Structure 1
């Protein structure tokens, strides 16, 4: 465990989030009643040597807040990792639990908010409190070439941190921008059950995003 991971796990900046994550860990969902829930802040997953950063919204109540690994053990994770596997970014098409042998390649996955928020709706103050962790992650990603944001909140967290003009950098699925030399910003709908069930996002659409990302990376990898 590195110092940043420890800092995120131990964080208690937001009283509302601390109470909520611990309440969920105590009550549990019936199907996971015999499991020990994580119930703490959830650090990122992957290597800081990666060229690709995937930024989500927050840990899922019975996903990462249960398992302790981001995008693990819930429906959003199942969708995302099937697409990551198709793109050759992971060694498995599913993310079930810590210790499942899952590996990701040239990629680091994290969230704008490190704790699960009630109703999946963080406050501006909570997002602001977490921005320092995102800043540290960005700083540690020395080889970063692509940031893929999943959902509008993740996109706006990124544009706010990078101080990008919101009139120019607008969220829409599949949008991509060269924000500075050798750094691209991509946007996608979040692979939430709601977005998947309403067909706002599907595997073909997400696979196309990863195809574009690999196209951006290829010239750098050939140098």
Structure 2
């Protein structure tokens, strides 16, 4: 709920395992995520970036906090990335917003009918996602885009609770990159689904079906190369490749 995080939860939150579990809705979870202070290194880095700023954004006020997921609370598709970019989501307060990776992702979401517009600039720009929610296993911008295993594990309860709250409608998860894939599998296996053994390996356009453990619907897991500049500039991930994965996700979610 980055479209206007309130001060409902004003105090710092240093225990994700306890505070995430207590969230009764996606909106409440988003509020709590935005005030997390559990990882000292990430807190220091995100705030330093927000103070120092990039020259091109020196007149802007950076978000400088953990970034909640973005999209409706009844999404059928979840898109899972890695972590906020220092001068992207850490600046704007919305997942994949304000950098070139987001430009590629939102263009593709728009092209396949999952977003209201092809551009994502800032909170309040009118962007709406349809049946899709974007999230990440790590909610703070990490130095050199590399969170530590400890930071990943500390942040895990936020993603676990988010998927739990999405459970009634969630049918497909599109994972951007191998890091997100490895971080997500333990979360899924400890929730409403069971990860097959041997565990499915990440790859572009890989598809794994996870059987439900709670009597509900199974979950379809799709792999996609990350929308990083390293991948999109070199052609490892093309717009057509990304659209194809998202179209497959729509079909599996039976969105028409």
| TM bin (shorter chain) | over 0.9
**What is the alpha-carbon distance in structure 2 between the residues aligned to residue 8 and residue 168 of structure 1?**
29
Give the aligned partner of residue 189 of structure 1: 225
Secondary structure of the corresponding residue to residue 86 of structure 2: coil
Query: Alpha carbon RMSD of aligned pairs, Å?
Result: 1.3
Residue 94 of structure 2 corresponds to 69
Match of 2:204 in 1: 173
- TM-score norm. by structure 2 comes to 0.83
Give the superposition deviation at 1:217. 2.0
CA distance in 1, matches of 2:152, 2:131: 26
Per-residue deviation, 1:166: 6.4
Q: 1:54-81 deviations in whole A, cap 9, x for unaligned? A: 1010001101000001110000000000
- Which residue of structure 2 lines up, in the alignment, with residue 200 of structure 1? 236
Gap runs ≥5 in structure 2: 6-26, 190-194, 212-216
Structure 1 residues 21-60: Cα deviation after superposition (integer angstroms, max 9, x where no partner) = 0000000000100000000000000111010011010001
TM-aligned CA distance change 1:166 to 1:64, over 3 Å: farther
Q: Matched residues in 2 for 1:94 and 1:60: separation?
A: 17
Q: 1:206 Cα deviation (Å)?
A: 0.5
Distance in 2 separating the partners of 1:211 and 1:49: 19
CA displacement 1:147-204 (0-9 Å, x = unmatched): 1111111111111212335633100000011111431001111100111112111101
Q: 1:9 matched to which residue of 2?
A: 34
Q: What residue is the counterpart of 1:136 in the other structure?
A: 161
TM-score, normalised relative to structure 1: 0.95
Counterpart Cα distance in 2 of 1:63 and 1:122: 16
- 1:23-102 matches, within 5 Å, as 23-102=48-127
